[in-house]
A and B are shown apart, each in its own frame.
Chain A
């Protein structure tokens, strides 16, 4: 079945880096982009951006430029999110999601995100 399986929880100190993974199965990885969404404790959802799994081209939301990097390893159908210089406010659950229409841009948004990973909890604390 179609699914996204994310890596396990992470506990990091401020200033450290973390790399999260999202492994896709049940479909052709490069047919759909990958979207990343953040949810801080008790808060709502934030769209972080997306990566084109065909070209590797990332698009970042305005609040997620600089310390956040999307990457891929298409040989293992996996998308990655790396966060550097971690801050306490990065503490959140990070989800990967598949855009139902294929791409993550404006022309595809109306199709929605139909498959989600289970989420990875990142805790930043000294």
Chain B
């Protein structure tokens, strides 16, 4: 079964660095790039990272992405209160011939 697994929640104190993992398989992350989206409550998702580690213009460099094998990670450094929201990874899945989203991770800033 094709699935991208994210931890349901994570937390960190202001100023700290947190990472959010996204675990997949050879049919998705193992062969294709990973994108990350941030979704504030009641709003549409926003592209945060594309092509594993690229930031669209306007995204602070506190946000970074990486990929290794069949897993990817989103790192947020210098945690701020406004970072408290939901984050989703996404990757193309060759078995499904479509995009898979992770289940989402809710970040709490303590």
- In the assembled complex, how far is the CB of residue A81 from the closest CB belonging to chain B, in whole angstroms? 15
* B83-97 interface with A by 8 A CB criterion: 88, 90-92, 94, 96-97
Q: Which 10 A-B pairs have the closest CB atoms?
A: A110-B33, A112-B50, A47-B99, A116-B44, A109-B92, A45-B101, A112-B35, A61-B98, A110-B51, A44-B104
Q: Chain A: residues with CB nearer than 8 A to chain B? A: 37, 44-47, 49, 59, 61-62, 95, 97, 100, 106, 109-114, 116-119
Knowing that A44-B102, A110-B51, A112-B35 touch, tell me 5 more A-B residue pairs with CB under 8 angstroms.
Answer: A45-B45, A61-B98, A111-B51, A112-B47, A116-B45
Could you mark each residue 68-110 of chain B with 1 if its beta carbon is under 8 Å from any beta carbon of chain A, else 0?
A: 0000000000000000000010111010111111111000000
Residue B32 interfacial (CB < 8 Å): yes
Residues of B within 8 A of A110 (CB): 32-33, 35, 50-52, 92
Residues of A within 8 A of B56 (CB): 100, 112, 114
- Which of B45, B47, B103, B104 is within 8 Å of A100, CB to CB? B47
Residues of B within 8 A of A95 (CB): 44-45
Known contacts A45-B45, A95-B45, A114-B56; A106/B97 CB under 8 A: yes
Known contacts A95-B45, A110-B32, A118-B44; A44/B101 CB under 8 A: yes
Residue B63 interfacial (CB < 8 Å): no
- In the assembled complex, how far is the CB of residue A39 from the closest CB belonging to chain B, in whole angstroms? 9
In the bound complex, CA of A106 to CA of B101 (Å) = 14
- Which of B49, B52, B98 is within 8 Å of A47, CB to CB? B98
Could you mark each residue 41-69 of chain B with 1 if its beta carbon is under 8 Å from any beta carbon of chain A, else 0?
A: 00111110111100010000000000000
B96 touches A113 (CB 8 A): no
